Amino acid sequence: MDKTIGVIGLGYVGLPLALTAVESGWNVIGYDKNPDLIRGLLSGNSHIDDVSNERLMTGISGGEFSLVDSPNSLSKVDICIICVPTPTTIDHHPDLTYVKSAANLISKILNPNCVIVNESTSYPGTLRNVIQQEIAITRADLGDIAGYVAAPERVDPKNTQFNHSNTPRVLGGDDSVQVQRVSDFYRSLGPEVKVVSSPEAAELSKLVENAFRLVNISFVNELAPYASALGVDLIEVLNAAATKPFGFMKFTPGPGVGGHCIPVDPHYLLDSASRLDVELPVLNSAIEVNLKVPQKILGKVQEILGHDSKSTVLLIGIAYKYGISDTRETPALQIAEGLVKLGCNVFWTDDAVTTWELAQKYSGQKIDLAIALSSSSLSQLEQVPGHVRILDCTGNYSSLSNVISYFNS
């Protein structure tokens, strides 16, 4: 019977998963190659928004959670789960450097009875043709695809309703015995488990989920100038459409998508399709629409400020969504860079972010315009003097007297 889990990569996917497993009665060995990160965790300092310091210390103090920066301890685990980043290259092609590194590490230390699980989001065929092949180069004794299962993560940072304990999991592998082992593990954490026919089906399901979100967000962003031209409140329209109890899912416009999933995963899908000579024009168009939104916001800023290159602008909410410290792929980056090119002085405020290299943190400086980029706490908006205009790119602050709606102006 499986008792010990290994987690490779202790970021926003791996650390919450490891702690959920500990809390569900498993022995867990968490590995990360960054010794500073391991030292910080052992000191009780969580670097993940969804993991409090208190929860981390409770998990460590029980003795079932080992944190290591040396992979040798992973030779003891029954199930080893890869939770490493899968970014894109500068030209938007899949970058599997971290996945290959994890597979190479596994090949050197894991026992033949260990089942290997990939939670890292990637294109169909990654488990079979990248991870398995990378391991087979060194460890032929680990066998064929039996012992390999795809289980792409479904983490939504700072989602207070859904987490590792109640978000259904999708699994796919070629060996029913190994799939059952992994299924038993995830079910022990609490969620339902959907087993699909192959690793490729599981891998594709994750890409479809996030491509679906990108397409629909891009669609409502594309509607914004049309609704404005009609003199219609787009947010009102979307709220009205959402009253239909079937056949409609509400998405809201914004300054563009951000984070490590929605802007990234569609490129993995496009790359995979292109290698099969399959075109996905709707997805390509959605990506282009999303990329243009920050530029349209900058155009609106120029309309408001005129040609005053000395204007001071405050960005409210620079993380890709409210309540998290993650600024990866945030549309605020492109907007801040554009404002600087226009000659503006740029400041920022965000309840969850402590540092950002693109601009100075706001501390009461006189400003000419504020731009609300994510749904923020009222305390952030209250920092803006009543006579200063706020360009609302969220659709949430139309009731404020000094707000200009990006969507209806």
Nearest-10 crossing angle of helices 281-305, 265-275: 140
Whole-number Å distance between alpha carbons of 107 and 392: 51
The catalytically annotated residue of 80, 83, 114, 261 is: 261
Catalytic site includes residue 80: no
Q: Which residues pair with 391 in a beta bridge?
A: 371, 404
Spatial strand order in the sheet of 312-316:
360-361, 345-349, 312-316, 369-372, 389-392, 403-405
Check if the beta carbon of residue 406 is closer than 8 Å to that of residue 393: yes
The helix or strand, by DSSP H or E, that contains position 79, with its residue range, turns out to be strand 79-82
Nearest of 179, 109, 173, 174 to residue 141 by alpha carbon: 109
Check if the beta carbon of residue 89 is closer than 8 Å to that of residue 125: no
Sign of torsion over alpha carbons 230, 223, 349, 306: negative
Q: Which residues contact 147 (CB under 8 A, 6 or more apart)?
A: 112, 114, 115, 116, 175, 178
Q: Where in 240-388 does DSSP place strands (E)?
A: 312-316, 345-349, 360-361, 369-372
Q: Which residues contact 287 (CB under 8 A, 6 or more apart)?
A: 214, 218, 266, 267, 270
Question: Active-site residue numbers?
Answer: 261
